[in-house]
Amino acid sequence: MSALGKRISVDFPEHKILEFATGAAVKSYIDDKKRADIYILDGEAVPEGGLGLARQLKDELFNCPPILVITGRVQDAWLAGWSRADGVVTHPIDPFTIATTVGNLLKNQAILPA
């Protein structure tokens, strides 16, 4: 996720990015009671894609953080809706677009009541 740089915008502090190679690794992280501010999932990953994982996280996590999925084609955006993802970005990834999308998702999350 080098496209996000060290800071999304001046409105946000520097961030820490954790990368996981598999859906099982993401679930293990969550099972260890660790939390993230946002999940960015690869909708094209195999064997467990980010779209299915997004839906599972939305179904199973209380107060699930925002989820952004990355799809391979614009035509796959409807799958992001099915997955209950909060946002979608399409390959090729534009650094400005992904930073803006992540920033908006985090800002929207911050104004929701706890």
Question: pLDDT at position 9, please?
Answer: 80
Q: Does residue 93 form part of some domain?
A: yes
Q: Who has greater pLDDT, 7 or 113?
A: 7
What is the model's pTM?
A: 0.89
The answer to whether 25 and 53 are in contact (CB under 8 A) is no
Instruction: Give the residue-averaged pLDDT of 100-107.
Output: 92
Q: Which domain holds residue 74?
A: 21-110
Question: pLDDT at position 110, please?
Answer: 67
The answer to whether 68 and 102 are in contact (CB under 8 A) is yes
Q: Does residue 3 form part of some domain?
A: no
The answer to whether 106 and 66 are in contact (CB under 8 A) is yes
- How far apart, in whole angstroms, are the C-alpha atoms of residue 57 and residue 24? 12
Q: Does residue 6 form part of some domain?
A: no
pLDDT at 114 over 50: no
Give the torsion sign (CA, 69, 31, 113, 111). negative
Question: pLDDT at position 67, please?
Answer: 97
Q: How many domains does the chain have?
A: 1
- H or E, element range at 70: strand 67-71
